[in-house]
Amino acid sequence: MAFQTPRPAGRHVLAELGGIPAHVLDDADALGATLRTVLTAAGARVLQVVAERFAPQGVTVVALLAESHASLHTWPELGTAHVDVFTCGDSADPVEAARALAAALKAGTTSLEVVERGGPPRSVAEPLSPGLTRRWELGRVHADARTAYQHVLVADTTHGVTLFCDDERQSAESTQLTYHEALYLPAALLAARRERVLVIGSSEGVVSEMAVAVGATHVDHVDIDAECVRICAEHLPYGYTPASLATAERGDGPVRLHYADGHAFVHGTDERWDVIVVDLPDERPDEPAAQINRLYAADFLAACAARLSRGGVVVCQAGSPALWRDATLRAAWARFHDVFGAGRVAYYGSDEHEWAFLVGAHRPLDDAAATAADALGGLRTRPATIDGPALRARMTPPVTLRRGADPGPASLGRTGDFQLDRRPVPSD
């Protein structure tokens, strides 16, 4: 998908010049005049130039521009100069100025870095795991707000209109249906009934509407961040529309929206539901005080389990099965087994998305894949991204979960020098 990158407010050029004769770098008057000349030639309006020579050597020159500023710092003993030119608007070209300065000083080497400054956000660095991020380039920014709970950003990316909360991608136009069907449908298929549904989080509203589409007559949607939900309804091309959100806020239809703390809501009610969906950003073990972690804790999962009707299920977004970022999935797997017990936990890992989901039930789930596949034909609408073969293929948990092993870095080997892990392999 093509999209237009928003224009920055300005450009900041950082340049390192080398191989310059020492006497050139120690002449404050000449350097000041040269900087003024190249800036003017590049379209900048120079208001003032200040040059200072230091003992025993070295010069700093600073130019005040109508467009911003430029500076030059020299080390004659090293033959180097460090330059920065920052200009706003389109009248001046800071790259041209920096290159012209390098030529005027007869630099032997030139290294340039251009940093765009100001204006709408142009990228998001999404944290994936310690030491690793994924950078999203942004096109048009539809909404950029800091609510009482988080930073909410809706912008065009190559995945379509995309929702970020605190720099984490939550959903995107091209993949949201795959994600939300993987989250909700396997769990709904394992439930004895699916008339009453509780959704905690899931600000976009897709799960609430999907639950109604496959048979729910009563959906309670609980989200603490009203501003985020309303931003999603206004700017995302999926989930709630402003009109359907207003209906849910009034409770006039099958979906009833509650702006409340999910933790307090579950602990403070005696109602029961057939399917309880917990759809939140990933838990944050590296931020123990983060409020969201309460909704991943065992006591909250147990409270959800206590609010199930007979034959009901709880489903939770549980992290990624990728070996290098599966810590939260392994933690959730252990937590679900502590609360529901062996044989009552099911796994679904979408074959077209990076997330995995866990389902907990009070009744045994002896062959969850077969049960879900058999129930598929009873849905009122046909899923777009899930069928019987997908259920049978993707409801087998990864080996690390089934064996209860933490592979650790030692078992991964080294590139070009593969090392076998000689620890005993437990039997299945």
Provide the annotated active-site residues. 68, 73, 88
The C-alpha atoms of residue 271 and residue 324 are separated, in whole angstroms, by 39
SS3 31: helix
Closest-CA residue to 261 (of 301, 308, 226): 226
Residue pair 150/143 in contact (Cβ under 8 Å)? The answer is: no
- For residue 382, give every residue at least 6 positions away whose Cβ sits within 8 Å of its Cβ, in sequence order, or none: none
Residue pair 311/192 in contact (Cβ under 8 Å)? The answer is: yes
Question: Sign of dihedral through CA atoms 246, 252, 253, 258?
Answer: positive
Helices 206-213 and 176-190: angle between axes, nearest 10 degrees:
50
Name the DSSP letter for residue 147. -
Q: State both tokens at 10.
A: 């300005």
The C-alpha atoms of residue 180 and residue 186 are separated, in whole angstroms, by 10
Sheet holding 109-117, edge to edge: 46-53, 59-65, 68-75, 80-88, 10-18, 109-117
Closest-CA residue to 68 (of 53, 50, 48, 52): 48
Q: Which amino acid is at 91?
A: S
The C-alpha atoms of residue 27 and residue 209 are separated, in whole angstroms, by 72
Residue pair 250/257 in contact (Cβ under 8 Å)? The answer is: no
The C-alpha atoms of residue 201 and residue 215 are separated, in whole angstroms, by 20
Residue pair 262/200 in contact (Cβ under 8 Å)? The answer is: yes
Residue pair 265/303 in contact (Cβ under 8 Å)? The answer is: no
